[in-house]
Structure 1
């Protein structure tokens, strides 16, 4: 792991930059880049501290957290259950092909104009389904955007509430992933130290992303972001075959 120190720092710098511009994407970009040089669960162990730190900050950036928690509680409990169940069912395997396919699907959804809406009466049963599916993918790949992010976007929250909801969802997913990694023995001293170190370039990237956000059209950056994810995901999936 020490041999990849510079690469890890650059990966988290870029991931933090994306999050600084778009408000999301740090775990996805970090896992996509780290997945090129190490197994997904090893990469996920490094991801824990930077992801938790940045998402707690995002979650607490506005008032109204308790109301968001009450609304999303069925989904978030499903995330925890799905993560633990996914770890028990699939074990700490490589998962590169699954990670690659998940990134490709996420990129295609982001590049498309397809949108859907969840009606209030659907939330009590659809939330747990989305949460469990997200948890299982988290356990296998270390990425927790699918189907959580499309589900949250379909709730038609206002912009600030959506950003807070994603921060809450990612925080819970990160904590569930940390528990899973500890159970499988992947949260070792070296990984923990690298995870604490990785928060520094991640925060620097977020600060730089905030500057770029004011100077760059969000639509252009978003398209570049999803095209890059598509290429990285395709490479991971093909190389794993």
Structure 2
């Protein structure tokens, strides 16, 4: 039954990634954290995250936003991810769980706010270093950088291909540096490594389902279903800490 929840979480993450090009961790990691813990969730997500984003980054490599933004975003995210991985290893489990719940709550709030303003490219380049660093810390410690990374990129209103190319390169950069640190800190055990590899199957397998949904189901309906699911997960995570499960 435990592996069923892992399979389900990665399947749902794959559907979301197939539909939008990103966002798999925001669904998969909180679900896994409900039944295991945050370090397990973040660790077993690394391999699927790395390989799926490598494929997307290569497929859309010609559509990246200019290097002044893309490479700075990835480089600072990489450095932040190192800091975040140490936080994952040493912070108390309950604190990490609350941080996951807060990150999900912030993501829901950002999605519901739907700001009309557009972040100008020149401004984005000026703030990309602190934004990338914070997003990297969140990715390393919680596996979820969406409240910062996806909000930042979406605010520039890029084309879908530009968004996928840039965010995929960002995630690949962080995962490449996070993996050896997870091994070195003892978080990536042999068992977790193989679970992580196997979890790639439902995630990749369900991405075409997400692409199909994106073509035939109104985006507004799909978004509401995802946000409702995330709200339930966030409430459960808060309850886990408040009442001890």
Q: TM-score, normalised by structure 2?
A: 0.88
Q: Match of 1:213?
A: 214
Give the whole-Å Cα distance in 1 for the aligned partners of 2:67 and 2:217. Answer: 33
1:120-179 Cα shifts (integer Å, max 9, x gaps): 333344101011111221232121223111111123322211121121122223223323
Aligned-residue offset at 1:229: 1.4
Give the whole-Å Cα distance in 1 for the aligned partners of 2:197 and 2:70. Answer: 29
1:46 corresponds to 2:47:
no
Would the alpha carbon gap of residues 156 and 200 (structure 1) be closer, same or farther in structure 2, given more than 3 Å must change?
Answer: same
Deviating beyond 6 angstroms after TM superposition, the runs of 4 or more aligned structure 1 residues are: none
Would the alpha carbon gap of residues 206 and 154 (structure 1) be closer, same or farther in structure 2, given more than 3 Å must change?
Answer: same
Instruction: Indicate the larger mover: 50-59 or 65-74.
Output: 65-74
Give the superposed CA RMSD: 2.1
Give the whole-Å Cα distance in 1 for the aligned partners of 2:21 and 2:62. Answer: 18
Aligned-residue offset at 1:189: 0.6
Q: Match of 1:137?
A: 138
Aligned-residue offset at 1:233: 1.8
Give the whole-Å Cα distance in 1 for the aligned partners of 2:148 and 2:181. Answer: 20
Q: Match of 1:83?
A: 81
Q: Match of 1:234?
A: 235
Q: Which has the higher helix share?
A: 2
Q: Where does structure 2 lack aligned partners over 5 or more consecutive residues? A: none
User: How do residues 30-179 of structure 1 correspond to structure 2 at under 5 angstroms?
Assistant: 30-64=28-62, 68-88=66-86, 91-93=89-91, 94=93, 95-179=96-180
Instruction: Indicate the larger mover: 57-66 or 219-228.
Output: 57-66
Q: Where does structure 1 lack aligned partners over 5 or more consecutive residues? A: none
Would the alpha carbon gap of residues 8 and 91 (structure 1) be closer, same or farther in structure 2, given more than 3 Å must change?
Answer: closer
Give the whole-Å Cα distance in 1 for the aligned partners of 2:61 and 2:137. Answer: 30
1:184-214 Cα shifts (integer Å, max 9, x gaps): 1111110110011101111111122223333
- How many equivalent residue pairs? 239
Q: TM-score, normalised by structure 1?
A: 0.89
1:67-121 Cα shifts (integer Å, max 9, x gaps): 6444222222111111222344564332110001000110111122224433333
Confirm or deny: 8 A CA contact 1:133 1:147 kept in the other structure: yes
